[in-house]
Amino acid sequence: MTAVGEAQEMQPGINEINKKSSSPFLKQYNWWIQMLIYSFFVIAGQSVGTILGRLYFDNGGESEWMATLVQTAGFPVLFPFQWFSTAKKTGPFTPKSFPKILIAFYIFTGIFVAADCMLYSIGLQYLPVTTYTLICASQLGFNALFSFFLNKQKFTPYIINSLVLLTISSVLLVFQNDPGDSNKASKRKYAVGFICTLGASAGYAIMLSLTQLAFQKIIKRESIRAIIDLTIYQSAVATFAIIIGLFASGDWKKMNAEMNVYKSGKVSYVLNLVWTAISWQVFGVGCVGLIFKVSSLFSNVISVFGLPVAPVLAVIFLRDKLTGLKAVAMLLAMWGFVSYIYQHYLDDLKMKEAEADAVSEVALVNERGAIVAS
């Protein structure tokens, strides 16, 4: 084969590399936009869901099963997005592309989510918002541990700094007194709430790591449809399990009476449950989206970053006091968040440098090919 022939044969591969190297910036902007949207979903959904859940109990709601049900029952609002979303790199699901292991994963994680949501409901019922928020921050430490073993998460100084700051920002809240609120529960119930919230945080951290592992090993689809599918199927299984518990416990018989004695009225009772359900579905989509786009640890970082928002909302809706301690906690949380984002900025710079080197190599190959051809 002649040198000219070799150069011509190399040209298609060179053109393909040039085509791929022409769109990295567009992909990066798209990635950041999606990450910001998912982060907003996590923070907004978590904060609103927590406040509405607390309002449910404060206004006379007593059913732990109902408070748990609304955390998963809002999944039908995602059906339109599921129908209109299309997979970018794979076709629609077929029985062959929907393996038994994936079905088993949805069933197992759905039941796990139901149990975890029940633990969160008990904790929110017996603990003040600030204490509840503090304990929820422990999920970051649990997730860091599980991510290290299950997802091979690498820790850099900036990530460690972020984890420490975000944890401290929530730990500070334990020193904030909640006059009147903490006294509503007995010491026994307070201890139960503490243990349940701690267990729920550990369970949530495991779920995030398992979800990331499932995306890598089982689902293997890079599309928004995969995110929505996972959220819907998990929530559907969890809702079914919780409904069984609701009827088995007999709480469904008390719903009418509970609605009649609800302090804010029947309409407020229904709206509280509906918007709580929607809020937690928004939160779920955001979490799964961040796991898919970045990692389970990053999803948890965003979640913990949003935890101090709940006490601020409590100032508005629960008449709590905004103290200097809470303001400091918010600032530390923002600092930790920026530290983590900066690490991703450094990662982007390294990736762009690698792409620039690849483009330079392609240019050299093109130049040599042109010389040989001439």
11-35 pLDDT, tens digit per residue, is 454 454 444 444 555 666 777 888 8
Give CA–CA dist 80/77, Å, rounded: 7
Residue type, 257: A
pLDDT tens digits for 191-220? 888 889 889 988 988 888 888 888 888 887
Task: Output the pLDDT for position 175.
Answer: 66
The answer for residues whose C-beta is within 8 angstroms of residue 333's C-beta and 6 or more apart is 165, 166, 169, 170, 304, 305, 307, 308
* Separation of alpha carbons 341 and 162, rounded Å: 9
Residue 247: what are its φ and ψ, rounded to 5°? -75, -35
Whether the pLDDT of residue 49 is over 60: the answer is yes
Amino acid at 106: Y
pLDDT recorded at residue 107: 93
Is the torsion defined by CA of 306, 310, 315, 320 positive or negative? negative
- Burial class (CB within 10 angstroms; exposed 0-12, middle 13-18, buried 19+) of 128: buried
Least reliable range by pLDDT among 36-45, 169-178, 284-293, 334-343: 169-178
pLDDT at 176: 58
pLDDT, average across residues 113-125: 93
| Cα torsion through 201, 207, 212, 214, rounded to 10 | 170
For tokens 């010491």, name the residue: 187
Burial 96-117 (b: 16+ CB within 10 A, else e): eeeeeebeebbeebbbbbbbbb
| CA distance linking residue 287 with residue 270, whole number of Å | 26
- pLDDT attached to residue 358: 66
The answer to whether the beta carbons of residues 119 and 182 sit under 8 Å apart is: no
Contacts of 68 (CB under 8 A, 6+ apart): 114, 117, 118, 120, 121, 242, 245
Q: What is the pLDDT of residue 150?
A: 74
Question: What's the pLDDT at 98?
Answer: 58
Question: HSE (CB half, 13 Å, CA atoms) of 216?
Answer: 14
The pLDDT of residue 35 is: 84
What does the mean pLDDT of the chain come to?
77
Q: Residue 250, by phi and psi: left (phi above 0), alpha (psi -120 to 50) or beta?
A: left
Per-residue model confidence (pLDDT) at position 67:
93
User: How far is the first Cα of the chain from the last one, in angstroms, to the nearest whole number?
Assistant: 16
Whether the pLDDT of residue 88 is over 50: the answer is no
Mean pLDDT, range 274-287, rounded to an integer: 91
Residue 316 sits at the vertex; the CA angle it makes with 120 and 193, to the nearest 5 degrees, is 20
Residue 108 CB partners (closer than 8 Å, separation 6+): none
The larger pLDDT score, comparing residue 213 to residue 174, is at: 213
Residues 140-152: pLDDT tens digits? Answer: 777 777 777 776 7
Using the structure block, give the residue that is written with the tokens 């995969």: 226
DSSP 8-class letter at 218: I
**Rounded average pLDDT over 320-342:** 73
Q: Per residue in 53-64, pLDDT tens?
A: 988 998 888 899
Per-residue model confidence (pLDDT) at position 179: 45
Checking if the pLDDT of 271 tops 90, the result is yes
pLDDT, position 6: 46
